[in-house]
Each structure stands twice: as C-alpha cells, then as structure tokens.
Amino acid sequence: MFYSMEKTELNIICDQVIKIAQVAGNFISKEALKFKTESIEYKDVNNVVSYVDKEAEKMIVDFLNTLELPAGFITEEGTASTTDTEGLNWIIDPLDGTANYVHGLPNYSVSLALAEGKDVLLGVVYHITTGEVFHAIKGEGAFKNNIPISVGKAQKLGESLMATGFPYYKFEEMTAYLKILESLMQQTHGLRRLGSAAIDLAYVACGYFDGFFEYNLNSWDMAAGVLLVQEAGGKVTDFKGGDNYLFDGDIIAANATHTELLKEISRFWEYK
C-alpha cells in the first residue's frame, strides 16, 4: 500500500463523494431539459461528448481537490490526468452513458472511484434519472441508498440474465464478440444492453443482472462498479480470468455464474 487510510476516514470521504456525485447529477439533469443535438461533439467515430460531460467533470475535480488527498486523477475528459496508474488516484466518469443522454434516453450515471493502483478502495455510482445511489468501501460491503445489497442467487447460465455493451471502436474483434452473444442468447434468460457500464455493474451488485461482460472499456467506465460487485459478493476478472481488467479494458463481473460465463467467453475469444 502506498497510502495508509483509516476506514473511518474512507467513510467520511465516501459521504463527500456521494454528495458531489449528486451535485454533478443535478447539473446534468438540469442541462438535459435544454440540451440540443447541435451541442454534440465527437471524440472519435461513434464516440460522443458534450459540454455537459466537460463541465460536470470540472465540477467534480474541483470538489475532490478540496479533500486534499495525495491523489492523482484519471478522468475521461482530460480535466486532470496522471501517468502514475500505480499510485493513489481518483478515477472519474462524469457522465457514463453520454450517447443515451444526448438522445434523451434516461439511463446514465456519474461514476467516481478512489483506487491505489488497480486496487479500488471506494466507489460511488449515481444513477441520475432514478436517484439510486450505489456505494462501496473496500471491506465494508456494498449499498444501494444505504441499504446493503448482494449479487443474485443464480448458479448457472440457464438461470441468469446477463448484461453487456457494444464497442464503438476496434471492430476487428466484432466477429468473436458476436459469436459470444449468439451463444449466450441461447443459454440464458436473455442479454441486455443499457448503455452505461457503471449502471450495469451496479445492477450486477444488487442482483438485477447475474453478470456483465464487455471489452474495450476504460478504467473510468468500470472502477466504481468493480468494487460494488466485489463487495456485494461477486467475482470480477478480465477475459483471461486474471485481474488486469481495470486498465486493460475487458471485464467479466458476475455472481456464481462467473466460472461458466468465463468458460463460454473463452471458447471464442483470442488475445492478439
């Protein structure tokens, strides 16, 4: 551990992080009422961003700086950044589900996490349109609106409802991914694609979904959700079954179905 932090300190910090997630979420909600498609910008093909993402991120970074932790920042929109991914960092997605947001689909979130290297210490996901607050502190359990949550009870794929996401780049992997989807469609109660990985992971943590898998994610998409799933009793790995998901992009997060889900994905997925 590079930084020693008491659990009481983490709890106090978590309360503050929840508040800033809600403040940012309220800003995002108000802007949704007057948002126009002309405000959409493109970071890349199919990868949209808006002034709302950028302003919410600045708001979050400014607030977190007042906590005076010796932490860097890993942020989606580049408001603040560090190259030291091994140290203590805030990992921030100010608006996870931007494509949903700009099209008026009410499923998007604020995702905030504090991590030391790839070890997430604290995570908050705020589902803006439902008002649901998910939070977890390492070793302290996971909660929705301050009520303890746990992963679902499904034991096998045939009993499960799974979530996934679709990539917006690196389409060369699409053939293998479509084979995975085809297989799981036939073995589960269904697949869902909500458009916010942070919400998907939060929903695994509280048992709405039994598992979630996706590739080409960034750390800010998943950091808070990873801790939620782990603290709710689930298992999180990369597509190889290892622990390199946070900065390598592919993730499997699930309840007791994880072993079977990993095996099924491994049938089709090859690392280049």
Q: Specify the pTM.
A: 0.92
- Among residues 12, 14, 200, which one has the least CA distance to residue 109? 200
Position 3 scores a pLDDT of 52
With contact defined as beta carbons under 8 Å apart, do 226 and 249 qualify? no
Compute the distance between CA of residue 118 and CA of residue 121 in angstroms, rounded to an integer. Answer: 9
Write down which residue in 131, 149, 167 finishes a domain.
149
Residue 2 forms part of a structural domain = no
User: What domain range is 44 assigned to?
Assistant: 7-149
With contact defined as beta carbons under 8 Å apart, do 188 and 239 qualify? no
Position 99 scores a pLDDT of 87
Compute the distance between CA of residue 229 and CA of residue 222 in angstroms, rounded to an integer. Answer: 10
- Along the chain (272 residues), what's the average pLDDT of each consecutive run of 10 residues? 66 96 94 69 53 89 93 85 83 93 92 96 97 97 98 97 86 87 96 97 98 95 98 97 93 98 92 50
Contacts of 223 (CB under 8 A, 6+ apart): 91, 111, 113, 115, 120, 123, 246
- Among residues 206, 9, 33, 29, which one has the least CA distance to residue 130? 29
Residue 227 forms part of a structural domain = yes
Residue 1 forms part of a structural domain = no
Residue 51 forms part of a structural domain = yes
Write down which residue in 149, 171, 206 finishes a domain.
149
Considering the domain architecture, whether residues 168 and 137 belong to the same structural domain is answered as no
